[in-house]
Amino acid sequence: MKKYDVQLQSVSPVAFGRYYTPEIPEQRGETKQAYEERTWKNRAHVDKNGVYIPALAFKNLLTSAAKYLGLQIPGKGKSTYTKHFASGVLITDNVYVAKESQLRGQWIHVPADGMRGGSKRVMKCFPVLDDWSGTLRVIVLDETITLDVLREHLNEGGNFIGVGSLRVQNNGIFGRFRVTDLRLVK
């Protein structure tokens, strides 16, 4: 098992889309627009330490990057790294990226049912961080994944997959990042 600390720096803003509706009911007589204006910040992942990108977002990014790249493992025929990233990598810590006061609202006309191509659209406000950075802790259990392989998948994941809502993988423009440092934790 090896642990790596990865320094990330934004290349594009990150948007948040956490589901929160059951937590905050509509007030009596409140319109959908008024509810959205009152509660939009709740889409961000925030706790006492600040705004964070969930650990699972980066786990999914690495698995998606492995599928996207389809790199073959040297000496293993046509085998790729996908299953090794899916089961051989752990990310257990959220990545703290900012203070809640740094969030801004981005109003976007989106499908009412959340499904692309839907006929009915509504205005929703997404919490966005324009500039963000943080430290990602990656635990590699599978020795097939070397430092160079991890670096390549993180770099390409930051370019072509992204994190958060409206990320590049889903035809968005948000959630891109670059790796500024990657080091083994002793």
pLDDT in tens, 100-156: 999 999 999 988 877 777 778 989 999 999 999 999 999 999 999 999 999 999 999
Of 79, 85, 94, which is closest to residue 46 (Cα–Cα)? 94
Domain ranges of the chain: 2-185
52-104 tens-digit pLDDT: 999 999 999 999 999 999 999 999 999 999 999 999 999 999 999 999 999 99
CATH architecture entry for 2-185: 2-Layer Sandwich (3.30)
Q: Which of 57, 46, 60 lies closest to 97 in space, CA to CA? A: 46
pTM value is: 0.92
User: Cα separations (Å) of 72 from 116, 130, 158?
Assistant: 33, 36, 20
Angle at 104 between CA 101 and CA 109, to 5 degrees: 155
Predicted pLDDT of residue 165: 94
